[in-house]
């Protein structure tokens, strides 16, 4: 089986460097275009999805809907709360600079962060997203899945598969509409692509440097 773990396209809050968490923000026009280009490129590569599961948050849902449409895959989207973004609690809607020490630790050493006030810890997100992924892999059904999720949630989901799990961010947050690809056979998963983009790499913007 093949699993494409897709981060959503850009939103207006992304462009401002705001930590969205569970804020239900839609894509902006650039985000929609990145998703459309991604879908068309996947179609050109002959990628066909058998099933799609998304975070229920608008930005993830809208991204997979556009990718499926542009890739020519007429399949329904199901939703799973376990793959929504980390909940920043009282710090939702703040910029990275406004998050203070917690924000610094979130990007420097997130697995040591005890949690955001009124929200979750990164380890909480690892637990729920990895439970989702392990359950999916256990199906061992030979299908190709599109998974629509978020930056921190994607890194959490795949953390146990990276060569160095202690490097949580793998150098940076996943780019908008970037894809991590997992191949699984006999219930044994491996990552075959990290943060692949299907659009011009000159358009990549890292909002959280």
Active site residues: 8, 85
Angle (nearest 5°) at CA 129 between 15 and 37? 40
Residue 24: is it exposed, middle or buried by C-beta count within 10 angstroms (0-12/13-18/19+)? exposed
What distance in Å separates the CA atoms of residue 193 and residue 154, rounded to the nearest whole number?
Answer: 13
SS3 call for 196: strand
Look up residue 92 and give its two tokens. 């939702």
What distance in Å separates the CA atoms of residue 72 and residue 66, rounded to the nearest whole number?
Answer: 10
What distance in Å separates the CA atoms of residue 194 and residue 178, rounded to the nearest whole number?
Answer: 8
């Amino acid at each position: 089986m093949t699993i494409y773990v897709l981060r959503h396209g850009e939103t207006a809050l992304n462009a401002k460097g705001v930590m969205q968490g569970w804020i239900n923000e839609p894509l902006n026009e650039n985000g929609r275009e990145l998703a459309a280009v991604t879908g068309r490129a996947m179609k050109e590569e002959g990628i066909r999805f058998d099933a799609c599961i998304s975070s229920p948050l608008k930005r993830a849902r809208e991204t997979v809907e556009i990718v499926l449409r542009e890739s020519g895959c007429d399949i329904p989207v199901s939703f799973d709360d376990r793959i929504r973004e980390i909940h920043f609690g009282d710090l939702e809607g703040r910029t990275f600079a406004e998050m203070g020490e917690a924000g610094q630790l979130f990007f420097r050493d997130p697995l040591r962060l005890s949690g955001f006030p009124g929200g979750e810890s990164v380890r909480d997100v690892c637990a729920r997203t990895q439970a989702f992924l392990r359950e999916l892999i256990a199906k061992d059904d030979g299908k190709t899945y599109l998974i629509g999720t978020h930056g921190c949630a994607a890194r959490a989901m795949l953390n146990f598969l990276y060569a160095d799990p202690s490097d949580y961010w793998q150098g940076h947050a996943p780019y908008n509409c970037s894809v991590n690809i997992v191949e699984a056979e006999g219930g044994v998963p491996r990552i075959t692509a990290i943060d692949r983009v299907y659009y011009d790499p000159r358009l990549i913007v890292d909002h959280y440097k």
